[in-house]
Amino acid sequence: MHLIVPADRFKLVSGQESLSTYGFNTYTAKHLFCKHCGIKSFYVPRSHPDGFSVNARCLDPGTVVELMITQFNGQEWEQQYPQGRGDFTP
């Protein structure tokens, strides 16, 4: 479950030194993994390069009061977002 958060609303409080960045395929998304346990609690997605996708399952209880889940076709995710968002030049 991913929560898209604008970059100006995201603040990493601690643990920066424990993160490792990985890019694959187009190298547009910045996947951040814990060097110790391997979890990807958040990353900069290709679909929203101006924000972060936060793994809702990694949030402390009480951090978010309510979640609204919207399902969509993940195979064709590019069609779910405004034109130009997540564009890249290979």
Taking the C-alpha atoms of residue 72 and residue 75, their distance in angstroms, rounded to an integer, is: 9
Close Cβ partners of 42 (under 8 Å, ≥ 6 residues apart): 10, 32, 52, 53, 54, 55, 58
Q: Is the pTM of this model over 0.85?
A: no
The verdict on residue 87 lying in a domain is no
The verdict on residue 19 lying in a domain is yes
Taking the C-alpha atoms of residue 62 and residue 7, their distance in angstroms, rounded to an integer, is: 21
pLDDT tens string, the chain, 90 residues long: the values are 888 889 998 888 889 999 998 888 877 788 888 999 988 888 888 888 889 999 888 888 888 888 877 777 767 766 766 555 544 433
The verdict on residue 68 lying in a domain is yes
Range of the domain at 20: 2-80
Give the CATH number of the domain where residue 57 resides. 2.170.150.70
**Count of structural domains within the chain:** 1
Taking the C-alpha atoms of residue 32 and residue 35, their distance in angstroms, rounded to an integer, is: 9
The verdict on residue 89 lying in a domain is no
The verdict on residue 52 lying in a domain is yes
The verdict on residue 73 lying in a domain is yes
